[in-house]
Structure 1
Amino acid sequence: MALSAAHLFDMNLSVFESDRKFSLVSYTWSHGQLLLRSPRPDDSSLPRIDVLFKDVRALDLRASFSGMKIVLADETLLANFPSKAAEMIEPGLQIFELTSNGWTGFVLAGAYFVHEDFGSPFDPSALLNE
């Protein structure tokens, strides 16, 4: 079941947190879709976790994370990054702050979704319209 965070608007509300390892799996600029994935741990009954951001306009991310927290943020966060992403803010977009082990990044997007399943690391995400 996919969970949407698009309805959450309280600033600095923790909207997703996991201690698992995540990697940037794909970014499709034509659709503005960014997919982060935590594969199933070896010999584990835990599911893989996909996090899909839609309508992505700007981002500052690492390729992988050991643990990840996503919170809604305001424009003041963007002042810390040289990309001038605040210039790209439009109605309907939100600033998602991503943190992991002392590192901070962001995704400026319309919404994000989380999905858990028992697929392999290379199976397509149920969140992508392929």
Structure 2
Amino acid sequence: MLVSGQRTESVDVPVVFERPLSLFAYIIGHGQILFRGEPNPDAGLSTTVEVLFKNVGALSLRDHYSRLTVRLASPGEADRIRDADPRPWRDRRAFVLETDSGADGHVVAGAMYWGERSGPVGYSSFLIPEYDLPRFRHDRPGPSRSGPVHDPFPRR
């Protein structure tokens, strides 16, 4: 599905994204995966692209794709994915994430949406604005990195 402003329309897969996309959010409790492509004026990219998978049941993916094609799995690919995770899919289907070198991941999900907006968007998502995504403050120090804790195993 393509979401543009308040309009939603069905689109066919495969969908090809000729730009870098990075894993932006993984909302575990609601089974959602969000990829985002940020604007990059040096590369001629003035828009923000988001790709959202909803009702995710299984996944195998990278955190970054320099170019991405999303398509439905072939029957053979779907069988291999089911063999790896035999839980019932119910109303989900397998989407294959494909790079120039071939299939490189999959998402078993109920739906896929994508949208494009001009300019930078900030940290919130325009496809899932109802979620308050975590904001990382670069001016605050991160958690300290303590060394490993060695506790002897109790002997009897």
TM-score range, shorter chain: 0.7 to 0.9
Secondary structure of the corresponding residue to residue 77 of structure 1:
helix
| 1:11 counterpart residue number | none
Secondary structure of the corresponding residue to residue 90 of structure 1:
coil
User: TM-score by structure 2 length?
Assistant: 0.67
Q: CA RMSD in A?
A: 2.5
Please give the per-residue CA displacement for 1:8-46, whole angstroms capped at 9, x wherever unaligned: 5xxxxx331011001011101100010001111125463
| 1:59 counterpart residue number | 59
| 1:116 counterpart residue number | 116
Identical amino acids, percent of aligned pairs: 27
**Structure having the higher Rg:** 2
How many Å separate the matches in 1 of 2:35 and 2:57?
A: 16
Please give the per-residue CA displacement for 1:60-109, whole angstroms capped at 9, x wherever unaligned: 10110011000011452155569813x13422101101101214210000
Q: Which has the higher contact order (CA 8 A, sep 6+)?
A: 1
Amino acid at match of 1:39: E
Secondary structure of the corresponding residue to residue 66 of structure 2:
strand
1:12-91 → structure 2 map (5 Å cutoff):
14-42=13-41, 44=44, 46-78=46-78, 80=80, 84-85=84-85, 87-91=86-90
Amino acid at match of 1:42: P
> Where does the alignment leave 5 or more consecutive residues of structure 2 unmatched?
132-156
CA contact (8 A) 2:115 2:127 kept: yes
CA contact (8 A) 1:15 1:71 kept: yes
- The runs of at least 4 aligned residues of structure 1 exceeding 4 Å deviation read 2-5, 78-83
How many Å separate the matches in 2 of 1:30 and 1:15?
A: 28
What is the total number of aligned residue pairs between the two structures?
A: 123
1:89-128 → structure 2 map (5 Å cutoff):
89-104=88-103, 105-120=105-120, 122-128=122-128
> Where does the alignment leave 5 or more consecutive residues of structure 1 unmatched?
9-13
User: TM-score by structure 1 length?
Assistant: 0.80
How many Å separate the matches in 2 of 1:73 and 1:54?
A: 17
How many Å separate the matches in 1 of 2:17 and 2:34?
A: 16
Q: Which has the higher strand share?
A: 1
